Amino acid sequence: MIEVPEYTGKKSRRDFLNYVLSIGFFGWIGAILYPLYSYLVPPKSPDVDTSNISIGKESEMENNSSKMFKIGNKPGILIKTNEGELKALSATCTHLDCTVQFKKDENLIWCACHNGKYDLNGINISGPPPKPLTKFNVVVQKDEIYVQK
Amino acid sequence: MIIRKKNNRIFILLILLVINPAIIFSQEIESKDACFNCHGILEGRLKTPSDMYKSDIHFRKGIACSACHGGDSKEEDQDKSMSKTAGFIGIPRGLQVSKICAKCHSKEFETLSKSVHGQSSTGSGLIINNCITCHGVHNIIPVKSPGSKVNGANIVSTCAGCHSNASLMKNYNPGLKVDQLDKYKTSVHGQKVFSGDSKAANCASCHGNHDVKKVNDLNSKVYISNIPTTCNKCHGDANYMKEYKIPTDQYEKFKKSVHGVALLEKGDVNAPSCNKCHGDHGASPPEVESISKVCGTCHVLNSQLFQESPHKPAFDKEKIHECSACHNNHDISTPTDEMLGSGEKSVCIKCHKQNDKGFETAVKMKFMIDSLQKDVELANYFINAAEQKGMDVSDAKFESNDIKKVLITSRTSSHYADLEKYINTINEGFKITSKAKLEGEEAVKEYYFRRLGLGISTIFITIICVTLYLKLRKIEKKQKT
Amino acid sequence: MKKKSILKKGYGWINERFKIDDLINFMKKKEVPLYHGTIWYYFGGISLLLFIIQVVTGMLLLLYYKGSAELAFESVQFISAKVKFGWLIRSIHSWSANLMVLAAFIHMFSVFFTKAYKKPRELTWYSGFILLALAMAFGFTGYLLPWNELSLFATKVGTDIPKAIPLIGGFIMNILRGGEEVTGSTLSRFFGFHVALLPGIFTLVLTMHLIFIQRQGMSAPENWDELPEKNKKKIPFFPNFLLRDLLIWLIIINVLSVLAVFFPWELGVKADELAPAPAGIKPEWYFLFMFQTLKIIPSQILVMDGEVFGVLLFSIAGLLWFLVPLWDRKTKTGEKRYWLTYAGIFAIIYIIIFTIIGFIAK
């Protein structure tokens, strides 16, 4: 069949259609690839491992200081003792669930709500708390501190 | 004088006969219990039981020695009356003693066996599971008699006989304190009892008598959550307490209070019972100036702040009761923000009048805590809105744990009665709420972003679909030709 | 013009090596009958599309999902909340799963009513039936993977049913659950089934199914042969039918996105193996009709346990359905049998009604 050149009108319309189709198509591909790419990039938040939390660098922590962290959905407290030993405990007071804090001068853990006191191993030594604080494992690898349940 | 006349002799004989029965009779009272009689004419140590027994209630009820010691109390011949075949056991030793009393007083003995005294008996040494330790022996008189060892006035000394003896208590419970008597002497109860008022509480009033249990035994009258009921036995009885002119509604008030609910309903054994604030053996109301120290054993920060505040010297001067002037004593309820400021329920306006510095400070404090509270509610609203839309707000929720802490800290710092310190604490709170609000808002934004993204991709898809459709039609048209 | 030559060059390169000319020519000739029932031809493709989407989104989810009882729930939460567009991938995966089962059912029923299972397409029907069963198995195993309360109990209820099979029932349940109860071991097992075993078998069977279809072409309706030539309207598969397919596919993809945004799949509460079952536990909707049927069967029928009877009933019904090509033959006189159509209608109505009852029931 002899190919007769078509009306400019039709031809431009066909080209126009193809043109729009290409735009649409590439746009759509873009709308797919952009989320795909974002998905593949690992998010900044720490991964879901509820059992292994990275806290920070050991060298950046002074002796006789503490740091609060989040484990699961609950607060935790990391303490570096005078001797440089690292201890990690749950920071939820076993009395009425207030958040405990580290008391430097008395070298113990204290709950401000009702004056409950724990030693640095989490054992309740004074005041209303009925149970010790839960202990977590601390692992240091290449200066990075990790806390595990 | 020779009695010559026959009639006179008969008369004297008759009189002798009359008098004789008395002698004979009394001799017959004595002679009914041969043991008692015989021992009564012996000497020294062997005579003492009979002498003592004369005053004993058991003797007056006609109970013979053999009832406890065995043997035959009708026989005068020692070999027969004190023979083993007649059941004689001599001086009962150890646990035998109480078992003998239990022959009649079985109920009391059973109770005693289950008590801490009964459980601590080991069968050797001083047997505390032993009726005679407290009641004495051979001279037991009714409890109500003033001379009884277990009478209200005397029981304190009886208990203290062992419980103040450190070297004795060491054998049974080295950890148990031995200062109860000393403390008791300082208490209101002790002072009254020692001055002759036997209505006041003595050892047995609270601890029980035969049924004394360890303090940490759930069934003990002085187990921490049972103490309010024990104290209330007297202190709630309006009739009983009439002459002492103190209120009798403490228990009713305490039951409704924060501490009462925690202790009696929620079972928190760390909540204070009556003895935590009043002392137990040394029970007396705390001095006006020492109330904040007593409350401060748990509520450290509030107490410290109060003691550093301008309120302390002012209260002490006017003899206003610390802590309880605003919070009450027995009916302490959960404090609310209404206690601050100048509203109806405010405690500040009890002393402060319009336009004085304290009044203005109170008003400002109330304003600030109200703003923080509103901000907290706003943050929570955003977080909930985001959550309902299906967004993840676990981080924001974690932050809002701190909100609880900051609200508590702010309210505590009001005890310092200083505006600047208060403002600092409140500002910490605002930092946290704004962070939480931000996260909530972010979540809501994300929600709308998703819809936008959807819209965009839908537009592209629609474009493609339409053009595809047109292209299809075109192709099919071409095919038809 | 340049475009054409690149395509042609590419084609030439492959053709040189694999001689696909005759294959392509064969496929070019493929035609699709155009009649009132043409619309049903699309559902096979739709099921295929949804399966492809499942594979793609499934693989993406695998990058972040952790299949142990301690971490499964948290990992799904992580995907939904923290991973960029994780919510989209997850919701699409869940919605597409349901739509795929629905499309497969529609596809099967349309094949049934158009009698496309008849000779020479029996194997296509058998492989298709197996694919449907596999799809439902996919749904069942996948449902447990988020390890939330609802899925734990739905799985408990679902795996209780095989127990009713006499003799081997307990054994089957043990194999399914990885133990006596539904535990973390069940999760690991189901994870393995869902991402490895089932995809493997499915792909094999699907490939065969597709080869059969390509080799035999689209089936024509029953009375096709009787029509005069000019009334046999057809359209070529390439490019007409394919473009239409593509159109529908695009629309479905959009529908999935809309569903994911406006009706995101919920996370629920983390499963607690020790907690008692919440009231009104139900399996997913495609099991509801069977579940509801079992519920209304009395506990004792003649000498049999009610559940055993129910399982037996469904097994027999399924078997008969599976074997329909075997026993649906035209009578010697060539009369059409309508009773099978009625049976099919009855099945659809039954399924729909019992699914609805299952939804409404407490």
Answer whether C250 sits within 8 Å of B464, measured CB to CB. Answer: yes
- Considering chain C, what is the average pLDDT of its residues? 87
Mutate to test the interface with C, among B397, B447, B458 (most CBs of C within 10 A): B458
3-state secondary structure (DSSP) of residue A4: coil
Task: For residue C85, list chain A residues with Cβ-Cβ distance below 8 A.
Answer: 35-36, 38-39
Comparing alpha-carbon positions, the chain B residue that sits nearest to C91 is B390
Residue of A114, A124, A125, A131 best to disrupt the B interface, most CBs of B under 10 A? A114
C58 vs C202: CA distance, rounded Å: 14
What mean pLDDT, rounded, does chain B reach? 84
Q: Strands A116-118 and A108-111, how do they pair? A: antiparallel
Which residues in chain C are contacts of B451 at CB distance < 8 A?
261
The Cβ of residue C108 has, within 10 Å, a number of other Cβ atoms equal to 20
Q: What is the least distance, in Å, from the CA of B174 to any CA of chain A?
A: 21
Q: Which helix (H) or strand (E) holds A53?
A: strand A52-57
The gap from C-alpha B248 to its chain's centroid, in whole angstroms, comes to: 17
> Does A25 contact B398 at a Cβ distance shorter than 8 Å?
no
> Are C145 and C73 contacting, i.e. CB atoms less than 8 angstroms apart?
no
Q: Is A38 close to C89, i.e. CB distance below 8 A?
A: no
Residues C169, C158: Cα–Cα separation, whole Å: 13
Using CB atoms, pick whichever of C60, C74, C78 lies closest to residue A39.
C60
Whether residue B326 has pLDDT greater than 60: yes
Could you identify the residue written with the tokens 């009884």? Answer: B148
The answer to whether A80 and A140 have CB atoms below 8 angstroms apart is: no
Q: Are C40 and C110 in contact, with CB atoms under 8 Å apart?
A: yes
Q: Does pLDDT of C177 surpass 70?
A: yes
Query: Which residues does chain C have within 8 Å of residue A40's beta carbon, measured at their own beta carbons?
Result: 60, 63
- CA pair distance C138, B420, nearest whole angstrom: 65
Using the predicted structure, report yes or no on whether residue C165 has a pLDDT greater than 70: yes
The partner residue sitting opposite C66, judged by closest CB among A28, A38, A48, is A48
- Is residue C293 domain-resident? no
Give CA–CA dist A107/A119, Å, rounded.
8
Which pTM does this prediction carry?
0.66
Residue A24 to chain C, least CA–CA distance (Å): 12
Q: In what order do the strands lie in the sheet with A124-126?
A: A101-103, A108-111, A116-118, A124-126
Question: Any CB–CB contact under 8 A between B85 and chain A?
Answer: no
**Higher-confidence residue: B321 or C232?**
B321
Is residue C297 in a domain?
Answer: no
Q: Smallest CA–CA separation between A72 and chain C, in Å?
A: 9
Nearest-Cα distance to chain C for B382, in Å, is 17
Which carries the bigger pLDDT value, residue C34 or residue B23? C34
Residue C130's closest CA among C321, C309, C294? C321
Q: How far apart are CA C52 and CA B215, in angstroms?
A: 72
Partner C, chain B 222-261, Cβ-Cβ below 8 Å: none
Helix axes A8-40, B419-480, angle to 10 degrees: 140
- What's the gap between Cα B11 and its chain centre? 76
Which one of A37, A113, A117 would you mutate to disrupt binding with B, by most B Cβ within 10 Å of its Cβ?
Answer: A113
**Hey, are the CB atoms on B465 and C247 less than 8 Å from each other?**
yes
Per-residue pLDDT averaged across C161-185, rounded?
86
Whole-angstrom distance between the N-terminal and C-terminal Cα of chain C?
Answer: 66
Considering Cα of B169, then B173, then B175, then B180, what sign does the dihedral take? negative
Residue bearing the bigger pLDDT, C281 or C189: C189
Which residue, B307, B343, B337, is CA-closest to B323?
B307
**Residue C86 to residue A35, Cβ atoms within 8 A:** no
Structure tokens, B185 = 């002497």
pLDDT digits (tens, 9 = 90+) for B378-430: 888 877 777 766 667 777 777 777 777 778 888 888 888 888 888 888 888 88
Q: Is the pLDDT of residue B54 over 90?
A: no
Out of B457, B465, B471, the one facing C257 most closely (by C-beta) is B457
Helix (H) or strand (E) holding B470: helix B419-480
Whether pLDDT at B11 is above 70: no
**pLDDT tens-digit map of B150-188:** 888 889 999 998 899 998 888 888 888 999 999 999 999
Between A and C, how many residue pairs show a Cβ–Cβ distance under 8 A? 36
Decide: helix, strand or coil at residue A145: strand
Residue B18 has pLDDT above 60, yes or no: no
- Residue B27 has a pLDDT of 42
**What residues of chain B lie within 8 A of the CB of C80, using their CB?**
392
- C-alpha radius of gyration, chain A, whole number: 30
Interface touch C82/A43, C-beta < 8 Å: yes
Domains of chain B: residue spans and CATH? 1-91 (no CATH), 213-285 (no CATH), 334-471 (1.20.140)
The 8-class DSSP code of residue A92 comes to B
The residue count for chain A: 149
Cβ-Cβ contacts under 8 Å between B and C: the total is: 49
| Separation of alpha carbons A133 and A119, rounded Å | 10
A95 touching chain B per CB within 8 A = yes
Is C229 within the bounds of a domain? yes
| Residue C278's CATH number | 1.20.810.10
Q: Exposed/middle/buried for A68, CB within 10 Å: 0-12, 13-18, 19+?
A: middle
Q: What are phi and psi of C92, to 5 degrees?
A: -60, -45
Q: Which of A37, A73, A92, A117 has the highest number of chain B CBs within 10 A, making it the mutation to test binding with B?
A: A73
Cis? peptide before A132, omega within 30° of 0: no
Quote the pLDDT of residue A1: 53
Residue C330 counted as domain residue? no
Query: Which residues on adjacent β-strands are paired with residue A71?
Result: A74
- Domain assignment present for residue C1? The answer is no
In this model, does residue C194 exceed pLDDT 90? yes
State ipTM.
Answer: 0.77
Cβ contacts (< 8 Å) between A112 and chain B: which residues?
300-301, 408-409, 412
Tell me whether strands A86-90 and A74-80 are parallel, antiparallel or unpaired.
antiparallel
pLDDT of residue C109: 93
What pLDDT is stored for residue C2 in this prediction?
Answer: 53
Kindly report, residue by residue over B222-243, the tens digit of the pLDDT. Answer: 999 999 999 999 999 999 999 9
Residue B25 has pLDDT above 50, yes or no: no
Please give the torsion angle defined by the CA atoms of residues B246, B252, B257 and B260, in that order, rounded to the nearest 10 degrees.
100
Amino acid at site C64: Y
Beta strand pairing status for A65-71 and A74-80?
Answer: antiparallel
Contact criterion met (CB below 8 Å) for B213 and B116: yes
Given a contact cutoff of 8 angstroms between Cβ atoms, the answer to whether C146 and C73 are in contact is: yes
Phi-psi region of B209 (alpha: psi -120 to 50; beta: other; left: phi over 0): alpha
For B458, the closest chain C residue by CA position comes to C254
Please give the torsion angle defined by the CA atoms of residues B365, B404, B390 and C97, in that order, rounded to the nearest 10 degrees.
180
Tens digits of residue pLDDT in B103-135:
999 998 888 888 888 877 655 555 566 788 888
For C41-58, what is each residue's pLDDT tens digit?
999 999 999 999 999 999
> How far apart (Å, rounded) are the C-alpha atoms in residues B155 and B134?
8
* Helix and strand element counts for chain A (H, E): 1, 10
Residue B431 in this model has a pLDDT that exceeds 80: yes
Q: Which CATH number fits domain A53-148: 2.102.10.10, 3.30.70.360, 3.30.379.10, 3.30.70.2740?
A: 2.102.10.10
Examine the pLDDT at B8 and tell me if it is beyond 80. Answer: no
Q: How far apart are CA C295 and CA C272, in angstroms?
A: 25
Q: Which residues of C touch B394 (CB under 8 A)?
A: 77, 81
Split into its structural domains, chain C has a count of: 1
* Structure confidence at residue C96 (pLDDT): 96
Binned at pLDDT 50, 70 and 90, residue C60 comes out as very high
B460 close contact with C: CB closer than 8 A: no
Could you give the CA distance from residue B452 to residue B458 in angstroms, rounded to a whole number? 10
Q: Pairing between strand A101-103 and C300-301?
A: unpaired
The reply to whether residue B474 touches residue A17, judged by beta carbons under 8 angstroms, is yes
Res. A32: pLDDT tops 70:
yes
Please count the CA atoms within 13 angstroms of the CA of C239 that sit on its side-chain side.
Answer: 13
List the one residue out of B462, B470, C242, C245 whose CA is nearest residue A14: B470
Convert the pLDDT of each residue in B349-388 to its tens digit.
Answer: 888 888 888 888 888 889 988 998 898 888 888 777 777 6
Find the CB nearest A45 among C60, C82, C89.
Answer: C82
Does the distance separating the beta carbons of C74 and A41 come in below 8 Å?
no
d(CA C158, CA B404): 44
Tell me, rounded to whole angstroms, the distance of Cα B399 from its chain centroid. 39
Rounded Cα distance between C126 and C235, Å, is 27
Tokens of C214: 């390509």
B355 φψ region: left (φ > 0), alpha (ψ -120 to 50), beta (else): left
Is C73 within the bounds of a domain?
A: yes
Which range scores top for mean pLDDT: C224-233, C237-246, C252-261? Answer: C252-261
Cα dihedral B192, B196, B198, B204 sign: positive
Please tell me which of the candidates C63, C78, C88 has its beta carbon nearest to residue A48. C78
Cα dihedral: C115, C118, C123, C127 (round 10): 10
- Maximal CA-CA distance, chain C: 78
Tokens of C342: 């009625």
The 10s digit of each residue's pLDDT in A60-76 is 888 899 998 888 778 89
Check pLDDT > 80 for residue B15.
Answer: no
Contact A129 B268 (CB under 8 A): no
Q: What is the 3-state secondary structure (H, E, C) of chain C?
A: CHHHHHHHHHHHHHHHHHCCHHHHHHHHCCEEECCCCHHHHHHHHHHHHHHHHHHHHHHHHHCCCCCCCCCHHHHHHHHHHCCCCHHHHHHHHHHHHHHHHHHHHHHHHHHHHCCCCCCCCHHHHHHHHHHHHHHHHHHHHHHHCCCEHHHHHHHHHHHHHHHHCCCCHHHHHHHHHCCCCCCHHHHHHHHHHHHHHHHHHHHHHHHHHHHHHHHHCCCCCCCHHHCCHHHCCEEEHHHHHHHHHHHHHHHHHHHHHHHHHHCCCCCCCECCCCCCCCCCCCCCHHHHHHHHHHHHCCCEECCEEHHHHHHHHHHHHHHHHHCHHHHCCCCCCCCCCCHHHHHHHHHHHHHHHHHHHHHHCC
C85 touches chain A (CB under 8 A): yes
Centroid of chain to Cα B402: 34
CA-nearest residue of chain C to A49?
A: C71
Query: Residue B457 has which token pair?
Result: 């991709």
Range(s) of the domain holding residue C256: 34-282
On whether any CB of chain C is under 8 Å from the CB of A5, the answer is: no
Decide: A28 and A125 in contact? Cβ < 8 Å. Answer: no
Mutate to test the interface with B, among A16, A21, A36 (most CBs of B within 10 A): A21
